[in-house]
Structure 1
Amino acid sequence: MSAAHQAFCQNLLQTLPAERVLDDEFHRLTYGTDASFYRLIPEVVVKVKDEDELQWVLRLAREHQVSVTFRAAGTSLSGQAVTDSVLVMLELNSWREFKVLDAGAKISLQPGIIGSQANQYLMPFGRKIGPDPATLNTCKIGGIAANNSSGMCCGTAQNSYHTLSGMRVVLANGTVIDTRTDAGRQTALNTQKPLLNELTKLATEVQANPELTAKIRHKYRLKNTTGYSINALVDYTDPLEILTHLMIGSEGTLGFISAVQYHTVPDYPHKATSLVLFPHVEAACLAVTALKPAPVDAVELIDGAGLRSVQGKAGMPANLADLNLDAAALLIDVRAPNAAELARKIAEVHTILSTQTLLFPAEFTQDPVRYAQLWGVRKGLFPAVGAVRPVGTTVIIEDVAFPIEQLAAGVRDLQAIFAKYHYSEALIFGHALEGNLHFVFTQDFSTPAEVDRYAGFMDDVAQLVAVKYGGSLKAEHGTGRNMAPFVELEWGQDAYQLMWKIKRLFDPENLLNPGVVLNEDPAIHLKNLKPMPATHELVDRCIECGFCEPVCPSRNLTLTPRQRIVAWREHARLKTSKNQVGLQAWDKAFAYQGLETCAIDGLCSTRCPVGINTGELVRALKTEQHGATAKKIASYAQTHIAPITQMTRFGLNAAAFKGKVLGNENFTRITQGFSKLTGDRSPIWHDAMPRGAKAAVPQAQGSNGQAVYFTACVTRSMGTAVSDSETRDLPEVMQSLMQKAGFAIITPKVVSSLCCGLPFASKGLPDQALESMTQLEAALWEASEQGKYPIVCDTSPCTLRLIECATKPMHFYETAGFIHKFLLPHLTLKPQDEPIALHITCSARKMGLDKILRELVKRCAPQVIEPEEEGCCGFGGDKGFMTPELNAAALARLKQQLPEGCHEGVSNSRTCEIGLTLHSGRQYRSVAYLVERCLG
């Protein structure tokens, strides 16, 4: 670390806690990685939680002359969120304030809010924010605004630039400007006259230059994020409007956007889509031109290679396999406020398409499942290449725009360049209405020859797009480092020098993200390329996009799935380099950061474009670490399930008694001290801990049906919380429900010794897990009379394991699913008066039970409250007992997200309910308790 950075860190630590100033090698690499194909390792990573801290960081940066780069979600693709200096990240539980204004017509958002969360806030008003990038479920408002992200339906009219209502921005010198209110605007006009006068002067000069003004208007007729948003100097005369609109798309090089206020747009409930096939790309592009004035919300072009990559995917027409590579498709989307208007729009589109050359008649679908499948496949085109790329290569997605009237010629010319440089796997897709094309290909950067190939390819693409067609080299992914050398080629010298004037006006010391957007090094796009070494077959397909991060429970504590993979890739590099000292230090850090604090819930796989489950990597690594002794202990436990559950019940009841005698607070302090003495190997007691369950076997008779009821070992061990007024165990409640519904219970033989094996699987003990599963499957097969009767398991994670691992044809249901399908038809529910909080477990999400759980709870309560976090609660089997900080970090915002009038919650996993109760201050129980209570 340089002397300047050392002094910077020392001063920083006088104000910020050490856990938010990270200068060790492990965190600098893992936290310093973004979705681009560039690798720069920061000297220090700083997590800031508010504007005061940010201003302090900027003051110290000026004092020590160290540069600063801002990072939101790190989904940027062009190298704008990496640095070899100071990386400033948003502390994840901060920067989350928002305010809906004017009945949803506007919304003010801090930069740490995920884009899809903003739309959730607006959903009750039938509105949404304009930008709709494919990363909307991951990227954050700060990045959306700083990159002027757009998307599939956004076009140019609804991006951040055109929907901006106001902004709060921190300049390089620490000055705060807020244009969201009249008072804030007046303060800025009174205090920032020198800066605002200079902006007015620049606007006057540009508007007096007809040639430059015409060029700017032409360039922004297209989607364009190359360089700065100098259209602000043509579109506005108000200097505050010029300032805030220059910030849009500035990629953190002009200031820090600490809040954005948007004009919102309608979110129409009625939608239809159609995948229309054409014999060749020219026919598709002619149809795009015809559709431009039509009432369509999106028209996505997919070339023949793209269609071939997704044939066989769910929702795709079977005839894709018969098409050749000349074929192309348009995915056309139509939306309306009501069904009649939607039908009228579809009819108009059909009329236009009837004049075009189609391979098959267009068919629109309004079915939500089919609709989601078609758009899911479109969004999956980028990872479709990533999933099949050779190990060690990188997936690159470029992003250009042609004038729409030259779109077909542009596509053909791009395909010719692919052929010239032997990118045979490349495919093209994009937002055709705006002439915006993405093209995806794989690239090996491990040899000079491969780097030269990429360099030649980029030079040819730049000449083709910027010079031959007058298009934009970066339509929506931001300039970054990737396209910085080509800004002058696209814009010309006058506009390029104008951009440098803007940079120097806002950041005269060049301390904000230097080298991004503007860079005088003509080869910067070929430097600091990210290595992608093979590390493990389970994760080698990872493209480090970061889509997994919002649902990871350890994201606020240690590492995310992306960061775990980055760390293990570095392990592979260190192992190859034979740096034993470095390798040992790295693995020591990874043991806690990567292994112990991974909940192994697998929810990351549901967000991963290529389905990677990082928990499987953690399991595999744990398996490799287990010695003979650990395996013997596991084998003993596997064959003694019944006495172990009996001992657990006894231990929980003994602890509950001690808590009652000593007082729960006193007993908690005692167990905390004992946990420290044992090296955190013993659990800490609290009043959300369960009593020991009763050993009773549920029984019920009835004539409406029969079902096998398997009480999971966690349910056989753990009753309700010691603080809970409800003392009945879950099997008692399920017995009551089934009796009232007239359903007979079939109990497997020797149920007390049965386990699905999940506790062993999660600890990387596959042999013992398999043995447990085999025994359970045999028992359930017999009890169900070879699959004749449904099987209900009262714990969601165990049900998922049964579904995934059973080899015989049986039908498995967890609590909510079983109640919904089999019991509700025979029951009458009377909703209670109070709202209910709902936690949908990771396993329930993976089983697709979200809708059923919501519907079930809605029938029992006037309001269902779901906290905005969709991730795992972090309890992870026994991790909530042995690594409680993981559960605490995952649920850090839960209590503040539940309103005062909400006094209880439901879920469908007993261990998850323990942590939810502890960290929410409400009692969480199985959804079965709520349903049973609402029977009256």
Structure 2
Amino acid sequence: MTVQLPNPIVRHADTALDVLALERDLTDRVDGEVRFDAGSRAAYSTDASNFRQVPIGVVVPRTVEAAVEAVAVAREHDAPVLSRGGGTSLAGQCTNHAVVIDWTKHCHRLESVDPERRTCVVQPGIVLDELNRQLAPTGLRFGPEPATHPNCTLGGMIGNNSCGATAQRTGKVVDNIAGLEVLLYDGTRFWCGETGEEELDAIVADGGLRGEVYGQLRELSRRYADRIRSGFPDIPRRVSGYNLDSLLPEHRFDVAGALVGSESTLVTVLRAELELVPVIRERTLVVLGFPDIATAADAVPAVVEHDPIALEGVDRKLIRDEQLKGMNPDALAELPQGTAFLMVQFGGDDRAVVEEQAHRMLDALHESEHEPDVAFLDEPEREDELWAVREAGLGATAHIPSRPDTFEGWEDSAVAPERLGEYLRRLQDLYREFGYASDTGPSLYGHFGQGCVHTRIPFDLYTAEGVRQYRAFLERAADLVSGLGGSLSGEHGDGQTRGELLPRMFGPELVEAFGAFKAIFDPGDRMNPGKVVAPARLDEHLRLGGTWAPFAPQELHFRFPHDGGSFAQAANRCVGVGKCRQQSTSGGAVMCPSYQVTMEEEHSTRGRARLLFEMLDGHGDGPLKDRWRSTEVRDALDLCLACKGCKTDCPANVDMATYKAEFLSHHYAGRPWRRPRADWVMGWLPLLAALVARLRLGSTINALGRVHVLRRLGTRLAGLADRELPLFAAETLVDWYAGRGPRGTGERGEVLLWADTFTNRFHADVGRAAVEVLEDAGWRVRMLEQPLCCGLTWISTGQLGVAKRVLRRSVEALSDHLRRGGLVVGLEPSCTAVFRADASELFPEDHDVRRLRDQTVTLAELLTEHSPGYQPPDLSGLDAIAQVHCHQHAVMGWDADRALLRKAGVDVERLDSGCCGLAGNFGFQQGHLPVSRACAERVLLPRVRAADPATVLLADGFSCRTQVHEFGHRSGIHLAQLLRRGLSKAG
């Protein structure tokens, strides 16, 4: 029987769509969250690519069946559909003018595990790290692991045919799929996978829509079989094009395999049955140094012969970029000599066998043409740190100080490993020809064991001529890699970036086959149209482009020195890598607490950055039209805790706390009556607290606060949440010190202790402890007679005009001390961070502010870095858990504290708990209490409750101590108080 194939897809001409009717029907029929509001559409307007298309609307289904119904409604309205995973795609496949289905919030279950068959069934929204965490008791895991493993979803990985470094051992996603449950746009739904001849005959004979699809697929595979075999590159990393080779008899007519990597252009994946691999118990890492990256690539085939489980390449330019951004400093120190490196990992169940493998490789390379310099690492912690160097590549190369921005476009090409050195030399020649090469970039790195190269290039995507050069380069690069038998994409897919270039790689006949393949599943071109087949041009729908002309506000408070003074450039800093969407903190990460408890794109750092970008309306067609007055941006920023975690944790160093403060300042400018009452109360807290002290009302207010009815009335009038209020100190720190005066020898000199509002007026004992510890260490302590303020509370509430006046007054008071070279010791991390970061971003040209930034230290920094020979009190045998304040994590770091505690003999565990959830004024504002408490309940409070009563809870932050005291019923202490215990013990 001859089966007629459908006509290949041509680009769809959109017809008029009744958006209101579509939204109404989705709302009425779909069990989920239907969002057609401007803010949601702005948040999903782009992915991690160069492209931007504002969606029609967003559907967040609560169940898989709800997603099926959403597609049915879209079909009735002839609306295009985009099924989206983590939204980190680098070729534009996750941005479209379509109904976006976001699976991540609800449809993220591991439905079943079969350890004997080594398989599991998952819903598409589950994140890879979370899946592997749940699989850990079985000793199994899903093999492919992209660098975005903490936040990429299995649905997205299937859509992209993801790989990662582990693909050296486990292969691509297509090699690890047992079956898929899929939904066609027309409503056809079935499970698919490998299909034997008898089963295939039966399916076709049964007829129906599924039988028709399988019959057409069989005819397609027969018609194009010879061309597929000859025209598909025989290399490890061919990700471009559809996987038509999976339909060949030698691959058992694997329909699931053919659909992997189809980027939501064919079907909606509802569930996946995954093939699992055993967890490798022992690993060792060898780093090989070479004189240049092409020479390192030449050595790859010789290394591959020894069966490493991962083989990555990085060049010195990537290392330098990470050094400039302060990323992974400990790991970078472990590298051997050279300007390019191969990271070779061996693994197995026996440590001795694994190390023997590594030594055999080194012996084989010794005195060969590929002999490298060697760093042999056998400490798992060090290996993890160095691996982070490679995984940080995308973020590390995106925004480098004093350099042009870099972009995707030629981000993941691949060739056979034996041709990798040749390819890199010719690619660098092409860089030079187009003027992209320099001593500083572009860097080259990637999965060298499989011939896959990552790079970000300083394309000029801001001018028409720059965009023309971008197109010309991609065309030439496509010809280069195709001529070497390679693939345009070796990992991240085609999307829009490479869809137009596929004829250069595959030729017209196979591209025709791709069109016929799509037409079998999606003849109306309603599934993610404009990607892969009948694609939009590679210079169409650009997020920037020669016509991009954003609103450029001039009257700014923060000066954005890292972005050329431009708020538009700051808002454009996000590259979409999605690290802010991690569902669990790891390694002391903080970003992004509100996303971690809401699972909402709009409440991630990335989502907020997208709204700010759209607020500037550089294309004139954006959903947000009110600029600084935008209620959508205000609402998205409302749940930003201003924790500053993103300032450090985000690989692009997005600083949402600063952007939020700047936005709020302009949003309420000229209309102060619109500000929430809590902004006035919490923002002006330093002056209110000073008034309480002057009138000696502290004890009265403390007593009234203990009466629940009165407290509830007071907090409601103030616009605050009904929660426990901090107690005023019986005696302020400044008053105590004025009566006591300085003591001690002062042989180390004089230091000024900053009496911040929280320490001075609420937790004065922290300051008293610090004075005693500093004097014992040989410092003479001085304090300002008149307590001043850093302006933190006005900054966090966006009252920046007042904040600057307050801060200037403080800087003037400190100027004489600073000009003499004196150090300022900060005890409250958030206030210390103002001096170390915010002040210089508000006043970047003020020399006293620069001195304040450079001469402000934490207590631990003073005692470890500025007190030679200092020996802290002996606290041996003491166990502690430490909740590190967000601003300390983001700005000052905790290394000095860790070193000091270790020297004192304290056995301390830094909690991987992220933000405590109070975050200054955030947790006290009405409406924020559920999110505030949920942040604390994720990790912090359960860990505190489980701790032994004798274990010390170390929490330098006033907010952290307050949050734990109210909800954890434990009292946290400051480092100063802990060290004072040692003094008492010694006495």
**Which residue among 436, 445, 456 is the counterpart of 1:429?**
445
1:333 Cα offset (Å): 3.8
Q: Normalising to structure 1: TM-score of the pair?
A: 0.76
CA contact (8 A) 1:781 1:810 kept: no
* Cα distance, 1:196–1:800 mapped onto 2, change above 3 Å: same
Residue 28 of structure 2 aligns to a residue whose secondary structure is coil
Aligned residue number for residue 714 of structure 1: 758
Aligned residue number for residue 684 of structure 1: 721
1:841 Cα offset (Å): 3.7
**Which residue among 957, 968, 975 is the counterpart of 1:909?**
957
CA contact (8 A) 1:481 1:517 kept: yes
1:289 counterpart = 2:301: yes
Deviations for 1:334-374, whole angstroms, at most 9, x for unmatched residues? 45556534432332232232244468633334464587357
1:65 Cα offset (Å): 1.0
CA contact (8 A) 1:98 1:109 kept: yes
1:544 counterpart = 2:599: no
1:613 Cα offset (Å): 1.9
* Cα distance, 1:27–1:2 mapped onto 2, change above 3 Å: farther
* Counterpart-to-counterpart distance in 2, 1:198 and 1:236: 22
1:73 counterpart = 2:73: no
1:298 counterpart = 2:283: no
CA contact (8 A) 1:386 1:442 kept: no
CA contact (8 A) 1:50 1:95 kept: no
1:349 counterpart = 2:361: yes
* Counterpart-to-counterpart distance in 1, 2:349 and 2:769: 43
Aligned residue number for residue 804 of structure 2: 766
Q: What letter corresponds to residue 454 of structure 1 in structure 2?
A: Y
* Cα distance, 1:717–1:102 mapped onto 2, change above 3 Å: farther
1:87 Cα offset (Å): 1.9
CA contact (8 A) 1:597 1:883 kept: no
* Match runs of 1:3-82 below 5 Å: 3-15=17-29, 20-82=33-95
Aligned residue number for residue 875 of structure 1: 918
Aligned residue number for residue 888 of structure 2: 843
CA contact (8 A) 1:207 1:233 kept: no
Aligned residue number for residue 431 of structure 2: 418
* Counterpart-to-counterpart distance in 1, 2:399 and 2:106: 32
* Counterpart-to-counterpart distance in 2, 1:560 and 1:206: 44
**Which residue among 417, 435, 458 is the counterpart of 1:442?**
458
Aligned residue number for residue 586 of structure 2: none
CA contact (8 A) 1:104 1:264 kept: no
Deviations for 1:390-440, whole angstroms, at most 9, x for unmatched residues? 778855443211122222232233233334433335443322111112232
Q: What letter corresponds to residue 758 of structure 1 in structure 2?
A: L
* Counterpart-to-counterpart distance in 2, 1:648 and 1:822: 43
1:516 Cα offset (Å): 2.1
Q: What letter corresponds to residue 662 of structure 1 in structure 2?
A: V
CA contact (8 A) 1:335 1:342 kept: yes
**Aligned residue pair count:** 873
* Cα distance, 1:507–1:619 mapped onto 2, change above 3 Å: same
* Counterpart-to-counterpart distance in 2, 1:792 and 1:696: 17
* Cα distance, 1:916–1:245 mapped onto 2, change above 3 Å: farther
* Cα distance, 1:115–1:133 mapped onto 2, change above 3 Å: same
* Cα distance, 1:454–1:863 mapped onto 2, change above 3 Å: closer
Deviations for 1:463-505, whole angstroms, at most 9, x for unmatched residues? 3323x22221111011112222233443355644554444344
Q: What letter corresponds to residue 629 of structure 2 in structure 1?
A: D
1:68 Cα offset (Å): 1.0
* Match runs of 1:559-598 below 5 Å: 559-573=603-617, 584=626, 587-589=629-631, 592-593=634-635, 596-598=638-640
1:291 Cα offset (Å): 0.9
1:512 counterpart = 2:527: yes
* Cα distance, 1:349–1:605 mapped onto 2, change above 3 Å: farther
**Which residue among 782, 787, 791 is the counterpart of 1:753?**
787
CA contact (8 A) 1:109 1:259 kept: yes
1:926 counterpart = 2:972: yes
* Counterpart-to-counterpart distance in 2, 1:392 and 1:744: 48
* Counterpart-to-counterpart distance in 1, 2:178 and 2:969: 42
Aligned residue number for residue 722 of structure 1: none
CA contact (8 A) 1:130 1:163 kept: yes
Deviations for 1:291-334, whole angstroms, at most 9, x for unmatched residues? 111143333334686677678785799999999xxx75434444
1:621 Cα offset (Å): 4.8
* Cα distance, 1:428–1:175 mapped onto 2, change above 3 Å: same
1:67 Cα offset (Å): 0.8
Q: Judge which range, 311-320 or 585-594, deviates more.
A: 311-320
* Counterpart-to-counterpart distance in 1, 2:624 and 2:826: 50
* Cα distance, 1:173–1:644 mapped onto 2, change above 3 Å: farther
Aligned residue number for residue 723 of structure 1: none
Q: What letter corresponds to residue 222 of structure 1 in structure 2?
A: P
Q: What letter corresponds to residue 539 of structure 2 in structure 1?
A: L
* Match runs of 1:76-225 below 5 Å: 76-90=89-103, 92=105, 95=108, 102=115, 109-121=122-134, 128-155=141-168, 157-165=170-178, 167=180, 169-173=182-186, 194=208, 197=211, 201=215, 202=217, 206=221, 211-212=226-227, 214-215=229-230, 219=233, 221-225=235-239
* Cα distance, 1:125–1:738 mapped onto 2, change above 3 Å: farther
* Counterpart-to-counterpart distance in 1, 2:258 and 2:153: 19
CA contact (8 A) 1:649 1:691 kept: no
Aligned residue number for residue 245 of structure 1: 257
Aligned residue number for residue 183 of structure 1: none
* Counterpart-to-counterpart distance in 2, 1:654 and 1:429: 61
1:363 counterpart = 2:375: yes
Q: What letter corresponds to residue 242 of structure 2 in structure 1?
A: Y
Residue 538 of structure 2 aligns to a residue whose secondary structure is helix
Deviations for 1:660-701, whole angstroms, at most 9, x for unmatched residues? 4639xxx65x568x45xxxxx621213x44444544769999
Aligned residue number for residue 603 of structure 1: 645
* Counterpart-to-counterpart distance in 1, 2:780 and 2:203: 78
Q: Judge which range, 889-898 or 159-168, deviates more.
A: 889-898
Deviations for 1:879-910, whole angstroms, at most 9, x for unmatched residues? 2223543x634664765779989846865534
Q: What letter corresponds to residue 251 of structure 1 in structure 2?
A: E
Aligned residue number for residue 453 of structure 1: 469
CA contact (8 A) 2:159 2:261 kept: yes
Deviations for 1:267-307, whole angstroms, at most 9, x for unmatched residues? 445432424113572x3333111111114333333468667
Residue 605 of structure 1 aligns to a residue whose secondary structure is helix
* Cα distance, 1:924–1:311 mapped onto 2, change above 3 Å: closer
1:797 counterpart = 2:816: no
CA contact (8 A) 1:268 1:337 kept: yes
* Counterpart-to-counterpart distance in 2, 1:854 and 1:197: 67
1:224 Cα offset (Å): 1.9
Q: What letter corresponds to residue 527 of structure 1 in structure 2?
A: E
1:560 Cα offset (Å): 3.7
**How high is the sequence identity, in percent, across the aligned residues?**
20
**Which residue among 617, 637, 643 is the counterpart of 2:690?**
643
* Counterpart-to-counterpart distance in 2, 1:235 and 1:796: 64
1:465 counterpart = 2:503: no
* Counterpart-to-counterpart distance in 1, 2:498 and 2:519: 20
CA contact (8 A) 2:615 2:633 kept: no
Residue 526 of structure 1 aligns to a residue whose secondary structure is coil
Q: What letter corresponds to residue 289 of structure 2 in structure 1?
A: V
CA contact (8 A) 2:315 2:445 kept: yes
Q: Normalising to structure 2: TM-score of the pair?
A: 0.73
* Cα distance, 1:526–1:554 mapped onto 2, change above 3 Å: same
* Cα distance, 1:347–1:767 mapped onto 2, change above 3 Å: farther
Q: Judge which range, 34-43 or 198-207, deviates more.
A: 198-207
Residue 301 of structure 1 aligns to a residue whose secondary structure is strand
* Cα distance, 1:131–1:653 mapped onto 2, change above 3 Å: farther
* Cα distance, 1:585–1:347 mapped onto 2, change above 3 Å: closer
1:615 counterpart = 2:657: yes
Q: What letter corresponds to residue 924 of structure 2 in structure 1?
A: F
Aligned residue number for residue 725 of structure 1: none
1:542 Cα offset (Å): 1.5
